[in-house]
Structure 1
Amino acid sequence: MTKANELFDLSGKTALITGGSRGLGLQIAEVLGDNGARLVISSRKETDLQDAKAHLEARGISVDYIVADNRKDDDLVALSDQSIAKLGRVDILVNNAGATWGSPAVDHAMEAWDKLMDLNVRSVFRLSQLIARDSMIPNGNGRILNLASIAGLKGNKGIVAYNTSKAAVVNLTRALAHEWGEHGITVNALAPGMFESKMTAGTLDALGRENVAAQNPLGRIGGSEDLKGAALLYCSDAGSMINGTTLAIDGGLTAI
């Protein structure tokens, strides 16, 4: 009988995590690294990556970083190539890098729309394509974890481009899962609700943290440990038969 700790063990595995220097990406980097994976993290800002690297190494995690702007195709190609070179192969890809934009639909700037579609959708597909083609398919296995959002499961007011981009991630996840399953690759997504992060700080400040928490069935906002269990499940052997799913991590908000 396989023990639970063996199912979740990532010793000998490698992982690339975009947007891995802070927030949800750093939380996922912690849990994958704590369970044995060697990491490459990426983001646009080298100072953030240096801080994250020091933080992760202090936990005993083997980690390197690559500076990349995921809106630029050349950067994505370089990120894929350099990650494979540094790690030998990429067993796990976490597509976390993303952005949001608040605006009434009637006034939404097309430049902002294009920015979100490029970063939240196009880059997720492009990097997945590159890593699958050059590492996962040749090796006959892989785990891809996309970060969607509960905004992609409902029509929240005032963030139409973000809603749309994250809904696209949900269906992209299904499509890639269907196409790449034959290669031993699973593709799944997490759909977080409201978590404390730099991206949500402005919204939480405006709405009030207590007010936001009060609307949640669990009565709280997502914290620094709340994404880890699901991420580890999807990225480990424990989730080897889970493919094409999107799991809401929202305290039950989408259930009401």
Structure 2
Amino acid sequence: MNVMANPLSMFDIKDNVALITGASGAFGMVAARILAGAGCKLVLVAGNQAALDDIADECHGMGAEVTTINTRPTDEDICNGLVAQTIEAYGKLDILVVASGMNKVALINDMTPETFNAVMDANVNQSWLLARAAAGQMKTQGHGKIVLVSSARGLLGHPAGYTAYCASKAATDGITKSLGCELGAHGITVNAIAPTVFRSPLTAWMFEDSEEATKVRNGFLARVPVGRLGEPEDLAGPLLFLASKASDFYTGHILYADGGYTAG
């Protein structure tokens, strides 16, 4: 097919197999909906069984084939097992989206080393283990798309107790760049989406009309050139791009879905 005659064909990921961890979380649910709508076969992974069932039912309703795995990617064996179960279910793995992770907010003298290490483990170690597991399969196939979830906080600090989160997302950016260099020769691209605040169950309060929400929102919007907070659909374009052939020449990049927040 002539790409220039039909440029939208570059974004066609119908029947691709996507493994999404953290599928019951804010970004993971959005990713599941986007890839289901694009015609992917999904393996959805989450520790919350009820929420996992809900998003799986929603994706089924969109016509997607869905396999669910109720677990968290906490160690090497589990991460390797998730890839193995994906291959058993669908015979291949085209797209990995690592949307699992966590944040614990506390000022440095109030944060325990155990809490710091827990955030680093969830956001850094588990991303590395999942990418490692997927890369082995993708090398065998000769192609693959790995999409990690970073944050604007990987680039910018925060005054209100984000030392663990900011450090973990900066490390995620480092993994993205390094693996982009390492795996490119195998036909595997590795990129990250770095959102700022977007509408989700966790941030719904920021969109309300209360005095507190308005104060926080206005303070944030003063730094956002497009003048609004993010909506779930703002993540669709970046994810479809990074999951499709359209991004075959792009690897090791951090794509900021932030309305210009990190530009100024």
Where on the TM-score scale, by shorter chain, does this alignment land: which range? over 0.9
User: Cα distance, 1:145 vs. partner?
Assistant: 0.4
Q: Is the 8 A contact 2:225 2:260 kept in 1?
A: yes
Give the alignment partner of residue 218 of structure 2, picking from 211, 225, 237. 211
2:232 aligned partner, one-letter code: S
- Partner residue of 2:195? 192
Distance 1:249 1:15 in 2: 21
How many corresponding residue pairs?
Answer: 255
Distance 1:128 1:164 in 2: 19
User: Deviations for 1:95-141, whole angstroms, at most 9, x for unmatched residues?
Assistant: 111111111112211111111111100000101111111x1000100
Q: Quick check: 1:169 aligned with 2:172? A: yes
User: Deviations for 1:212-254, whole angstroms, at most 9, x for unmatched residues?
Assistant: 5532222221112110101000100111111110011011111
User: Cα distance, 1:180 vs. partner?
Assistant: 0.7
Identity rate, percent: 35
User: Cα distance, 1:75 vs. partner?
Assistant: 2.5
- Partner residue of 1:250? 258
Secondary structure of the corresponding residue to residue 36 of structure 1: coil
- Partner residue of 2:32? 29
User: Cα distance, 1:175 vs. partner?
Assistant: 0.5
Structure 1 length-normalised TM: 0.93
Moved more, 4-13 or 72-81: 72-81
**1:208–1:199 CA distance, 2 compared to 1 (3 A):** same
2:192 aligned partner, one-letter code: A
**1:213–1:59 CA distance, 2 compared to 1 (3 A):** farther
Give the alignment partner of residue 47 of structure 1, picking from 32, 37, 50. 50
Distance 1:25 1:85 in 2: 22
Moved more, 172-181 or 79-88: 79-88
Structure 2: tracts of 5 or more residues without a match? none
1:6 aligned partner, one-letter code: S
2:46 aligned partner, one-letter code: S
Secondary structure of the corresponding residue to residue 106 of structure 1: coil
Q: Is the 8 A contact 2:205 2:213 kept in 1?
A: no
Q: Is the 8 A contact 2:25 2:100 kept in 1?
A: no
User: Cα distance, 1:197 vs. partner?
Assistant: 2.3
Q: Quick check: 1:104 aligned with 2:86? A: no
Alignment of 1:135-150 (within 5 A): 135-150=137-152
User: Cα distance, 1:80 vs. partner?
Assistant: 2.1
Moved more, 219-228 or 230-239: 219-228
1:255 aligned partner, one-letter code: A
Q: Is the 8 A contact 2:221 2:229 kept in 1?
A: no
User: Cα distance, 1:204 vs. partner?
Assistant: 7.2
Q: Is the 8 A contact 1:213 1:220 kept in 2?
A: no
Distance 1:61 1:70 in 2: 23
User: Cα distance, 1:81 vs. partner?
Assistant: 1.6
User: Deviations for 1:44-72, whole angstroms, at most 9, x for unmatched residues?
Assistant: 01111110011111111221111111224
Secondary structure of the corresponding residue to residue 233 of structure 1: helix
Distance 2:78 2:212 in 1: 36
- Partner residue of 1:228? 236
**1:116–1:201 CA distance, 2 compared to 1 (3 A):** farther
Q: Quick check: 1:58 aligned with 2:58? A: no
Structure 2 length-normalised TM: 0.91
Distance 1:111 1:204 in 2: 33
- Partner residue of 1:127? 130
Secondary structure of the corresponding residue to residue 242 of structure 1: coil
Structure 1 stretches of 4+ moved >6 Å: 202-206
